[in-house]
Amino acid sequence: MWWGVAVFNPLLSFLSLGVMPLSTINMFKNTVLSKMALVVGGHTFETLVTLDAFIVLSGAVLTAYVGINGLIRRLASDRVVPPFLLHENTWRGTNHWILWGYFAVATSLVLVLRGDVETLSGVYTYAFLGLMTLFGSGCMLLKYKRAALPRDVIAPWSACLTGVSLVIVAFFGNLMGDPTVLTYFALYFSLVLAVVFVMLERLFLLRLVMYALQRMCPSRRSKAGESATTQDKGTGAMGGRTIVRAMREIADTSPTVFFAKHCDLPLLNKAILYARANEHTSHLLVVHVSTESGVQAMADEEDGKNVETLAESVAILDRIYPKLKIDFVHVAMHSGEFGPAAIEWVSSAYGIPKNMMFMKQPSASFPHSIATLGGVRIVTG
């Protein structure tokens, strides 16, 4: 695709300069291609180019809807945006809230800008450059934190640094052109960021609401120095029980899974700290996968000791972290060891989405690629 962009965009620019003066290009800057077609081939050619442009742009809009649908579905399953967006239409089986939401955001931007195509393209430019910066920064972060992670393509540091530097230069170049465009971009970016922040910190925000209600709207009995009513028992605030129920629903939505190969207390502790810091969950399953032959050989030494020690370590960690229920699960596979089949079985048996499963960074000898694991996250090196 980038070859096509590198060839056709400059070529069309040169062709336009070859058939039209610069003053005409500036006058028809929003419809340069159709004007060029009119000059070169007359009204028939102009109509053909216009229809072709309409079809191409229609495909771009369709691609945008397909892309945003997949993106928001993944973000919702990762609990980064509200889960109601995953609701499917009973008629067509589509995620209608995502499609209507994207339509509303895109339409509102056009209305706010009063159809100003130039300003709209500037907002898109900032969004695109920001995305390219995140791609490059994410690549460098992976190279630094997960250098040993198996991958098909290895980008050199020089390429990452050069790419990010050029994108930043382009960002400031657009900023110098029309700084007011950044205001609209910042407004919409802030709204999206606010939604993500509320989702990631909703338990903390509910605790703040509970604290405020305890100070401003204490329950009648607690205000009088007596025991709380049944409705507000243990909260000290009117409506506190509803907030506590909401907090429990968030924490009990789905347990998380960490796949452990050996008994490594520091590694298990890092996985627990990750789950506590990044996931709204009250239940963590530590899963160890082995073959049936390994189970039969359990009485013999290493395998048996490893599973037994791992179970004991999980029990100790369960006592250390009383707010998080930690259970140990030993899965014996008929054939093969840890891989996509084992992950699929754990997901279906316990009803846990694969994106709620974590594992250590696999070694170079791991026979499966990360993409075949169905969205299992690498949370530690």
Segment 110-124 shows an average pLDDT of 86
Q: Is residue 140 part of a domain?
A: no
Query: What CA–CA distance (Å, rounded) separates 195 from 277?
Result: 19
Task: Describe the chain by its helix, strand, coil percentages, rounded to 5.
Answer: 65, 10, 25
pLDDT value at 271 more than 60: yes
Of 75, 90, 114, the one marking the end of a domain is 114
Residue indicated by tokens 């972290």: 321
The tally of domains found in the chain comes to 2
Of 83, 114, 145, the one marking the end of a domain is 114
Of 114, 137, 171, the one marking the end of a domain is 114
| pLDDT tens digits, one per residue of 295-326 | 555 545 555 577 888 888 889 999 998 888 88
Q: Closest Cα partner for 50 from 23, 65, 30, 64? A: 30
Alpha carbon 192 to chain centroid distance? Answer: 13
Global pTM value = 0.76
| pLDDT tens digits, one per residue of 148-172 | 777 778 888 999 999 999 999 998 8
Q: Do residues 46 and 33 touch, judged by C-beta distance below 8 A?
A: no
| pLDDT tens digits, one per residue of 26-71 | 888 778 888 888 888 888 988 998 999 899 889 988 999 999 999 9
CATH number of the domain bearing residue 285: 3.40.50.620
Q: Is residue 124 part of a domain?
A: no
Domain extent, residue 70, equals 27-114
pLDDT value at 229 more than 50: no
